[in-house]
Structure 1
Amino acid sequence: MPEKKVFHNVIDGTVQAAASGAMMDIVNPSTGEVYASAPNSDEHDVDLAFRAAATAFEKWRWSTPSERQRALLKLADVIEDGAEELIAIESENTGKPIALTRSEEIPPMVDQIRFFAGAARVLEGKSSGEYMRGFTSSTRREPIGPVAQVAPWNYPMMMSVWKFAPALAAGNTVVLKPSDTTPASSYWMVEKMQEIFPPGVCNLVCGDRDTGTALTRHKVPQLVSITGSTRAGIAVATAAAADVKRAHLELGGKAPVVVFDDADIPAAIEGISVAGLFNGGQDCTAATRVIVQQGIYDEFVAALTEAAQQARTGYDPADEDILYGPINNAHQLGHVAGLVERAPEHARVTTGGNRIGDRGYFYEATIVADLRQDDELIRTEIFGPVLTVQKFADEDEALRLANDTEYGLASSVWTTNINTAARMSARLDFGCVWVNTHIPLIAEMPHGGFKHSGYGKDLSMYGLEDYTRIKHVMLHHGFEG
C-alpha cells in the first residue's frame, strides 16, 4: 500500500503544519479512498498568514510593474516545465482525465498568468488635468492590500491561478485557501512560488469551512475573493460587510442553452454535449439547461441522448477516451443523484440516471427531458453530468424561460440567423453570451455574472482592476491662466 501523502500550509516562505496539529483526510474521488492528509488550520494559522502577508505588502506594494511581470513570467515557466508532475497531482486529487487536463487546463493557466504579467504594465487611468483653476488633479490606481482568497474544488489549480495572478500583478499580497477536498495542486504551485516571490507575498492555508470563515473575518485583508456556491458567497459577503471589506464573488450558475429550429443541429449537439458533460458538469458555466424550439425538439432530444450515451467516464484517468471523471465528493454525488431521483412524473430520463459502480463517485451521463420551468431540476444548480431539456415556441418564450432564474453567469444561443443572435445576446440577462458555441474562455475577456452568480470579474483587465483601489491626488500650483 503506497505511503499516504501529506500536504502543508505555506506561510511566510516556509512549509508549515497547522499549529494545533489538526489534519484532514483527502480522498481520491476515483477510488473513494483516503490517499493524503492536509492541515485543518484554525484562527492562529490564519493570523500567522495574514501577519506575513501584511509585512510583505509593505515592500511588495512598491515593486514595479516590470518586477511583478518578471516574477509571474517565471511562475508561468515553472508550471509549463513541471506540467506533467502537476497534472498527475491534479488527476489524483480530482480524478480528472490526464489527457484533457494536459490539453484543456495547463495551456490556459500558463497563458492567463502571462496575460496578467503583461497587464500589470498597462493599467490605465484618466489623464492629469486642471479641472479647477489653479489645481491639477490626477488619479492613482493602487493595490488594495493583503487579500483573502478561497478557491473551489471543481478546477482547483486553474481557479487558484485566477485568484492569485491578478492580485499579485496589481501589487497585493495573498492568503489563499484551497477547497478542503482539493488542496494538492494549490500546495504544489504556492510552494514553487516561494522560489520566485519574496516571503509572505503568497501564502497558503489549508482547512475546512471554519478556516474560510476565519479568513473572511480577519481584520487584515481588505478584500475577500471566493469562487463557489451562492450560499458560500452570501456568507462571505455578509461577514465581509461587518468590517466594510470588499467582496469579490464568482458564484454558481444555471446556464440556459437556447437552440432555435434553424440551428446547425449536428454542431449544436456536439458542442452542447461536450460543454454540458466536460468535467462531469462540475462547472458553473456548464451547458446543462437546454431550451429547444418545438419544431426540432423531438429530433434534438433523441440526438442529445445518443451523444450522452457515447460519452465515456472511467476509473483510469490515463484512458484517453474518457470525457469526464468522477464527481468530486460523496456529498455532491448524493446531491446529483437525489435531484434525478426526485424528477417529476412528467419528466423523461432518456438515458443515465444512475451511479456507476460502488467504487469512487461516478455518475452516468444523464438527459432529463420534458421538464417544466418550476421543476427542481430547472431551478437548482446540479453540478453534475446531467442535462435538462425544455421546449419553447417562439423567441419571447425562449427569453422568458432563459432569464427566469436566480443565476446570471453564462448562456448560449444556437442559430444561423444573425438578427436572432443579436437580439438574444442583448436581451439575455447573463454575464456571458456565447453564439453557436458554449464554454470557451480567453484571458483578454471578463468572466463573471449578475444576480446570484455574483459581481466579481475574473480574467481580463477588469479582473485586474478589481484588485486595485482608486485615489484622487490634487495639487495646488496657483497658476490660473
Structure 2
Amino acid sequence: MSPLRNLIDGASADAASGATYDVVDPATGRTYTTAPASGPEDVDRAMRAAERAFGTWGETTPKERQEALLRIAQALEDRADEFVRVECENTGKPIGLTADEELPPSVDELRFFAGAARVLEGRGAGEYLKDHTSWVRREPIGVVAQVTPWNYPLMMAIWKIAPALAAGNTIVLKPSDTTPASTVLLAELAAEHLPPGVLNVVCGDRDTGRALVEHPTPQLVAITGSVRAGMEVAGSAATDLKRVHLELGGKAPVVVFDDADVAAAAEAIATAGYFNAGQDCTAATRVLAADGVHDDLVAALAEQARGTRTGLPDDPDILYGALNNPDQLARVTGMVDRLPDHARIDAGGTRPTVAGGEGGYYFDATVVSGLRQDDEAVQDEIFGPVITVQRFADEAEALRLANGVRYGLSSSVWTTDHARALRMSKRLDFGVVWINTHIPFVSEMPHGGFKHSGYGKDLSMYGLEDYTRIKHVMSFTGE
C-alpha cells in the first residue's frame, strides 16, 4: 500500500515535519504502510480549514447535505470490495464477515443520516408570553473534533461523521494510530462529494489527539475509546468549556435465567462474544448464569469455544481474526495469566499457531468459570475473546451482579418469562438492553451508555441532535 497522507482542506498532505510512523498488519505483525505523525501545526491547519468551510457548509440546506451524504453512501457501496480489503489489512478482520456485517450497516448509516438531516424536530412556534411569539432554532454547533478507535475504524468513523455532517458541522477527525488506512480512504472518497475543509483527517498518536482536543476552535469533542481516554478528553475539554460526546468502554452482563434455551443461548452468546475477537465494548463476554442452568451453560459455551476458529483474514472458516496490536495481546494474555486460583479455564486460554500468521496477535476463544464479583476479569474490560461465567441464585442477585461494575453500556436478558424480561430491562443500569439476543444494531435506535461508559448517543435521531445546539428566538408581536 502507498504511504498514507492526511486529508486537509480537500487535499492530501504529509505532516508538516515530514515525520511518519509504521502501520502494522495485525494478522502477520508486518509493516504494510506508513502514516503521517501529525503535530500541532497539522492540527491547526486542519482546524482553520474546517472553520473556513463552516462559513458555507453551515448555511447549506438539509436537502443539499442529504444529497452529499447519499452520494458518499453510493460511492462507498460501489467501492465496497476495496474498502473491505483495506479494512481487513488495517485490522486483521475476516474478509467475508467484514463484507457482510460491517460494510452494509456503514452504508445504511450514511443513508439514514442523509434522511434524518431533513426531519429535525423542535417545539412549535407559539405565544408563551402575551404579545410575544417564541420558536426554537436547532443549529449546527460549528467545528467538531472527533477521535475514533481501532476496533471498528471504518464503521466508527461513519458513526461520527454522518450525524455531524447531516447537522451542518465541519469536522477534524483523528483515527487510531494503529488503524488509519480505511479512514483516510473514506476521507479521500468524501472529498469528491464535499466542499474542501468540510471533512479533514489527521493521523497520529495520542499527542496528536491531545492537540485536537486542546485546540481552541472546536466547540464539541466526540470520542469513541477507552475510559481513560474519555476522562482525559473530558478533563481537557473542560478547561475551555467544550461540549463532549463520549462513547467509552463496556462490560456487558449477559443474564441467563433457568428457563432459557441453553443451547440456543450458548450459540448466540459465543457469536456475540467472539465476534471481532471480543474487541467490542458491547461484546457478550460477562455471562451471569442461574443455578439451574449454570453447569450446562458452561459446558455448552466451552463446546462453542472449542469449535470457534481464528486465523488469517482470507480464511472463510474463521469467526474472528487477530487482536489489533501487541499491547492488546499483552493485556488479554496478562488478564488470563493473572486469573485467581478459584477460577477455572474451561476452554482456550492459549495462543494458537496460525500458518502464515506466525507474527500475528492471535488468542484462542476462551471460557472462564468460577469467578467472583470482585475479580479483575469481571470488573475490568478484557477486550478479547474471553467469556467469563458467574453463578446467581435469583433475580435480585442477578441484578446486583449485573449492575455491580463501573460500566453501563449494554446488557442482555435471556428468559421466556415476559414479565421478568420487562422488570430486568427497567432495572438494568445500561444504555442498551437486548432480550433473548445480543449485539444487533439498527440505525434508527440510539447507542450509548451510562456511568463510566460515557454519555451522548450514536445512531438514531438522538445522535443527530447531539451535534446541534438549541436557540430560543422570541419576537414582540403586540401593537
TM-score (norm 1): 0.98
**Match of 2:362, as an amino acid?**
F
Deviation of residue 470 (structure 1)? 0.2
Q: Which residue of 1 aligns with 2:433?
A: 433
Q: Which residue of 1 aligns with 2:323?
A: 327
Is 1:117 the counterpart of 2:110? The answer is no
Gapped runs of 5+ residues in structure 2?
A: none
Query: How large is the RMSD of aligned CA atoms in angstroms?
Result: 0.6
Query: What is the aligned counterpart of 2:344 among 328, 345, 348?
Result: 348
**Structure 2 counterparts to residues 245-260 of structure 1, below 5 A:** 245-260=242-257
Q: Which residue of 1 aligns with 2:403?
A: 403
Moved over 3 A (4+): none
**Match of 2:339, as an amino acid?**
A
CA offset digits 1:94-119 (Å, max 9, x no partner): 11000000000011000000000000
Q: Which residue of 2 aligns with 1:61?
A: 58
**Match of 1:154, as an amino acid?**
N
Q: Which residue of 2 aligns with 1:177?
A: 174
Deviation of residue 356 (structure 1)? 2.2
Q: Which residue of 2 aligns with 1:394?
A: 394
**Match of 1:325, as an amino acid?**
G
Q: Which residue of 1 aligns with 2:9?
A: 12
**Match of 1:131, as an amino acid?**
Y
**Match of 1:194, as an amino acid?**
A
**Match of 2:55, as an amino acid?**
E
Q: Which residue of 1 aligns with 2:44?
A: 47
Distance in structure 1 (CA, Å) of the matches to 2:144 and 2:366: 40
Is 1:132 the counterpart of 2:98? The answer is no
Distance in structure 2 (CA, Å) of the matches to 1:344 and 1:405: 19
Distance in structure 1 (CA, Å) of the matches to 2:178 and 2:13: 19
SS at match of 1:6: coil
TM-score (norm 2): 0.99
Q: Which residue of 1 aligns with 2:334?
A: 338
Distance in structure 1 (CA, Å) of the matches to 2:451 and 2:15: 37
Q: Percent identity?
A: 64
Distance in structure 1 (CA, Å) of the matches to 2:189 and 2:12: 11
Q: Is the 8 A contact 2:106 2:158 kept in 1?
A: yes
Q: Which residue of 1 aligns with 2:461?
A: 461
Q: Which residue of 2 aligns with 1:415?
A: 415
CA offset digits 1:38-74 (Å, max 9, x no partner): 0010000000000000000000001000000000000
Is 1:384 the counterpart of 2:384? The answer is yes
**Match of 1:292, as an amino acid?**
A
Is 1:284 the counterpart of 2:296? The answer is no
Deviation of residue 5 (structure 1)? 3.0
Distance in structure 2 (CA, Å) of the matches to 1:278 and 1:5: 30
Which segment is superposed worse, 306-315 or 248-257? 306-315
Distance in structure 1 (CA, Å) of the matches to 2:19 and 2:201: 16
Q: Which residue of 2 aligns with 1:263?
A: 260
Distance in structure 2 (CA, Å) of the matches to 1:192 and 1:5: 16
**Match of 1:353, as an amino acid?**
G
Q: Which residue of 1 aligns with 2:371?
A: 371
Distance in structure 2 (CA, Å) of the matches to 1:195 and 1:297: 55
Distance in structure 2 (CA, Å) of the matches to 1:127 and 1:66: 21
Deviation of residue 458 (structure 1)? 0.0
Gapped runs of 5+ residues in structure 1?
A: none
Distance in structure 2 (CA, Å) of the matches to 1:160 and 1:295: 43
SS at match of 1:363: coil
Q: Is the 8 A contact 2:262 2:296 kept in 1?
A: no
**Match of 2:324, as an amino acid?**
N
Distance in structure 2 (CA, Å) of the matches to 1:80 and 1:295: 47
Is 1:156 the counterpart of 2:148? The answer is no
**Match of 1:437, as an amino acid?**
T
SS at match of 1:353: coil
Query: What is the aligned counterpart of 2:223 among 221, 226, 229?
Result: 226
